[in-house]
Amino acid sequence: MKLIKNLVIVKLEKGYLGINSLNGRTDLVREGAIEIIKRWRNEENIVPANADEAALFSNLNDRGYLCNNDVEEKRKKDEIVAVLRDKYKKERAK
């Protein structure tokens, strides 16, 4: 599993905000987790090194911040675009 490319990290006054731009979820992220996420950004197959990393990995997976590969992430994006395109066409047809 790897982090999605559509993960946006925003520094806040106190802490960070993680934004999953594929599904719209947002999460407050603690400083220690940000350092791990930064390290994982370039990894193709994340392997948590300890219990804290395993908990973070599980949370990121549950919230949709992980995917198996770039093909899966592209498929998810394409699905979203297709749904929005169909909705737009239906709205225009009214």
Task: Judge whether 3 and 41 are in contact, CB under 8 Å.
Answer: yes
pLDDT digits (tens, 9 = 90+) for 16-55: 999 999 889 999 999 899 999 999 999 999 999 999 999 9
pLDDT, residue 46, reads: 97
Task: Judge whether 29 and 18 are in contact, CB under 8 Å.
Answer: yes
pLDDT digits (tens, 9 = 90+) for 65-80: 999 999 999 998 999 8
Listed by start position, the domains of the chain span 2-93
Task: Judge whether 5 and 72 are in contact, CB under 8 Å.
Answer: no
pTM: 0.82
Query: How many CB atoms within 10 Å of residue 69?
Result: 12
Largest CA distance in the chain: 55
Task: Judge whether 44 and 2 are in contact, CB under 8 Å.
Answer: yes
pLDDT, residue 7, reads: 94
Q: Sorting pLDDT into bands at 50, 70 and 90, what band is 62? A: very high
Q: Return d(Cα 12, Cα 57) in angstroms, integer.
A: 22
pLDDT, residue 14, reads: 86
Partnered with residue 28 across adjacent β-strands are 17
**Residue of 52, 82, 59, 51 lying closest to 1 (CA atoms):** 59
Residue 94 pLDDT more than 90?
A: no
